[in-house]
Every structure is written in structure tokens, then in C-alpha cells.
């Protein structure tokens, strides 16, 4: 039986390899996805797949450095740094080939070895600052 | 004054300390929040960074020198500041994770944002380490500062 921590490690390891399919393999088909910086709350694997695919496409040299994994029952919280060099538009920001490094926290709920909920927290101000965005109401203008 | 308790640290008691911390936050009791932390407790407010020409100041340091003025300043700028706790979960190692919404109406300057009487509400994730003495040894907080800025009518990425 896969433990909650093992499921999350499998997810993060796959994301670190930029293998979206492998990351999605440990998620439930009805997963609830909350990406706070995108003001996104939705359900289903397509939603999360799209979030991960956008990230991997925009930062093809993506690196995930996990600093801490906290298990509290069926809930696992992972703290990690996302790094990469922008190679395509991301979150509305055009590609200026800037380097990104953002500390993030993702809270997972695991049921029967599969991730059934994920909530992601990071600061979009830090992200836009690194991608040379000047104004929130003109994100595509660098 | 630091409180000393004889209760053993369990997942429940550690989570209880954190629940008490947020009760005091909601009551604007900064001294009380600080009292629940060990004398040398660390804090990392991950989104806080002020970019200067040659250096970046970050929201990392000690509860008593970084956290306390930050909380007091926030309450001063948002006098109706309120805290809504959604989940608190701990483990026997004293690690506690809390999902919390913080909201308030701006009445005084906050950072580079001039007051316009606007209201914000923002989800936060807090990670605490509670020691065996049931005092908080570290706090790490995540939120989206861009969302707060935009809700307050400030559209520049500072």
C-alpha cells in the first residue's frame, strides 16, 4: 500500500523529471485542484495536467528542490523551490528568457494511495518580478 | 513573558498551540502571539522581499524582531483585520500546517500601498514547528502578495 508521503514523493519526483504523465499517475480522476496564485479552484485530472504541462513547457530546464515534506495523517505538505529559465509564455507573461526561482508550498490530501486534493501556494508577485513584468494590469508587456 | 507548560507534545497539543496563536492573531493580541513562541523562534514570511539596487531584504528572521513588527504593522494598517482558520493539522513531531484566510480593510499605508479604504482577503498557508515545551520554534508563511496588492488597488510589481 502506497503511503501518503510515498504518493507525494512520486508526484514531485515525476515533476522534477518533467514527466507530467508519471505525476498524473498518482492522482485520482476526480482530484480537486486549487492553485491560489491563479485564483483557480476546479476538479479533474485535465485541470492539474494543464497546470503542470504549462509549467514544464515554459521552463524546459525545470528544477524542483524539495526542502521539507510534512505528513499529518492523510495530508502531506511539501515545501520546495521551483527553478528554471523561461522559454515560453507563462501565467500571461511573455518569454523574456529570465530565470525563475520561487519557493512554493503544496498541500496534498491522499486517499487510498492517490492524491485526491491539491492546493498550491506561492507568491505571484515574486514570479512576475523575476519574469520582468512591471504591472499586474499589463502582464504581457515586459 | 514565555509560558511554560507541562503538557506533553502530541499532534493534538501542538495543533492546539497553533489554534491559540490564531485566536490571539484574530484578537490583535501581538504580545500574546509572541508569548506562544520560544525566545529565539524563527520566522520566514516567504513572499516578503524588498528589492533595492544592491540587495534584497527578505522577511526572514526572528519572531521577536521580524514577526512582531510585521504583525503589529499589519494590524495598524488594517484595523479590522480578521483571521479565518480553515484547517489545522499536526503530527507528533510538532509539525503543524494551517490553512488560514486573512482579511482586512486598509486605513493606513502598507508597504508601498497607499490607503484607499479597500478590502482584501487572501488565503495563507502556515507551517509551524512546535517544540517539546509546546512553544512555537519556527513559523513559515506562504501567500500571494500580488493578489493583496491588486485587491488594494496597487498594480505595480514593486
A116-125 pLDDT per residue, tens: 999 999 999 9
Query: Distance from first CA to last CA of chain B, Å, rounded?
Result: 37
Strand partners, A113: none
Could you tell me how far CA B28 lies from the centroid of its own chain?
A: 12
- The enclosing domain of A97 has a CATH number of 3.10.450.50
B49 lies within 8 A of chain A by CB: yes
| ipTM score assigned to the predicted complex | 0.95
For residue A93, give its domain range: 4-138
For A2, A7, A44, B50, the CA distances from A109, given in Å and listed in that order, are 13, 10, 14, 34
For A29, A41, B107, B147, the CA distances from B119, given in Å and listed in that order, are 37, 22, 10, 12
Whole-number pLDDT of residue B5: 54
Query: For the whole model, what pTM was predicted?
Result: 0.95
- For the beta carbon of residue A115, count every other beta carbon within 10 angstroms: 25
DSSP code at position A36:
G
**pLDDT beneath 50, residues of chain B:** none
Which burial class, exposed, middle or buried, applies to A112 when counting CB atoms under 10 A from its CB (0-12, 13-18, 19+)? exposed
CA–CA gap between residue B127 and residue B140 (Å, rounded): 5
B12 lies within 8 A of chain A by CB: no
Query: How far is the alpha carbon of B50 from chain A, nearest alpha carbon, in Å?
Result: 10
* Residue at grid coordinates 504591472: A135
Q: Are A122 and A93 in contact (CB under 8 A)?
A: no
CA–CA gap between residue B15 and residue B45 (Å, rounded): 20
B95 to A107: CB separation less than 8 angstroms, yes or no = no
Residue A42 clears pLDDT 70, i.e. is over it: yes
Q: Are A26 and A10 in contact (CB under 8 A)?
A: yes
Half-sphere exposure for A88 (CA within 13 Å, toward CB): 10
B19 lies within 8 A of chain A by CB: no
pLDDT band at residue A84 under the 50/70/90 scheme: very high
Whole-number pLDDT of residue A119: 98
A72 to B97: CB separation less than 8 angstroms, yes or no = yes
Provide the sign of the torsion angle of the four alpha carbons A78, A125, A99, B139, taken in this order: negative
Number of domains in chain A: 1
Which of A79, A105, A125 has the CB atom closest to B157's CB atom?
A125
B147 lies within 8 A of chain A by CB: yes
Residue A1 clears pLDDT 90, i.e. is over it: no
Residue of B nearest to A71 (CA): B91
Whole-number pLDDT of residue A64: 97
Complete domains list, chain B, with CATH:
11-151 (3.10.450.50)
Query: How far is the alpha carbon of A26 from chain B, nearest alpha carbon, in Å?
Result: 23
Mean pLDDT of chain A: 96
Q: Are B139 and A30 in contact (CB under 8 A)?
A: no
CA–CA gap between residue B1 and residue B123 (Å, rounded): 30
Q: Which three cell numbers stand for residue B48?
A: 516578503
Q: Which three cell numbers stand for residue B105?
A: 480593510
A105 to B127: CB separation less than 8 angstroms, yes or no = yes
Residue A113 clears pLDDT 90, i.e. is over it: yes
Whole-number pLDDT of residue B1: 56
Whole-number pLDDT of residue A140: 80
Amino acid at each position: 500500500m502506497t503511503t501518503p508521503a510515498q504518493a507525494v514523493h512520486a508526484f514531485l519526483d515525476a515533476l522534477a523529471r518533467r514527466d507530467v504523465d508519471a505525476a498524473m499517475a498518482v492522482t485520482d480522476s476526480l482530484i480537486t485542484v486549487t492553485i491560489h496564485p491563479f485564483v483557480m479552484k476546479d476538479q479533474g485530472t485535465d485541470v492539474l495536467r494543464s497546470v503542470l504541462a504549462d509549467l514544464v513547457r515554459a521552463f524546459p530546464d525545470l528544477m524542483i528542490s524539495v526542502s521539507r515534506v510534512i505528513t499529518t495523517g492523510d495530508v502531506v505538505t511539501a515545501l520546495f523551490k521551483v527553478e528554471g529559465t523561461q522559454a515560453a509564455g507563462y501565467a500571461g507573461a511573455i518569454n523574456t528568457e529570465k530565470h525563475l526561482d520561487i519557493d512554493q508550498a503544496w498541500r496534498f490530501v491522499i486517499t487510498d494511495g492517490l492524491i485526491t486534493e491539491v492546493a498550491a501556494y506561492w507568491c505571484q508577485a515574486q514570479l512576475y518580478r523575476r519574469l520582468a513584468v512591471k504591472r499586474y494590469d499589463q502582464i504581457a508587456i515586459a | 513573558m514565555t509560558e511554560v507548560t507541562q503538557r506533553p507534545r502530541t499532534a493534538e497539543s501542538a495543533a492546539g498551540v497553533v489554534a491559540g496563536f490564531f485566536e490571539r492573531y484574530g484578537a490583535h493580541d501581538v504580545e500574546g502571539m509572541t508569548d506562544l513562541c520560544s525566545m529565539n523562534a524563527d520566522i520566514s514570511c516567504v513572499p516578503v522581499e524588498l528589492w533595492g539596487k544592491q540587495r534584497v531584504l527578505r522577511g526572514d528572521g526572528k519572531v521577536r524582531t521580524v514577526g512582531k513588527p510585521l504583525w503589529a504593522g499589519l494590524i495598524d494598517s488594517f484595523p479590522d483585520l480578521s483571521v479565518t482558520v480553515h484547517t489545522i493539522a499536526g503530527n507528533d513531531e510538532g509539525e503543524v500546517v494551517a490553512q488560514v484566510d486573512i482579511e482586512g480593510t486598509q486605513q493606513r499605508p502598507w508597504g508601498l500601498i497607499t490607503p484607499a479604504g479597500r478590502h482584501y482577503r487572501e488565503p495563507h498557508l502556515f507551517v509551524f514547528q512546535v517544540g517539546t515545551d509546546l512553544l512555537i520554534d519556527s513559523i513559515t508563511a506562504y501567500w500571494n502578495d500580488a493578489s493583496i496588492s491588486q485587491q488594494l488597488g496597487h498594480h505595480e510589481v514593486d
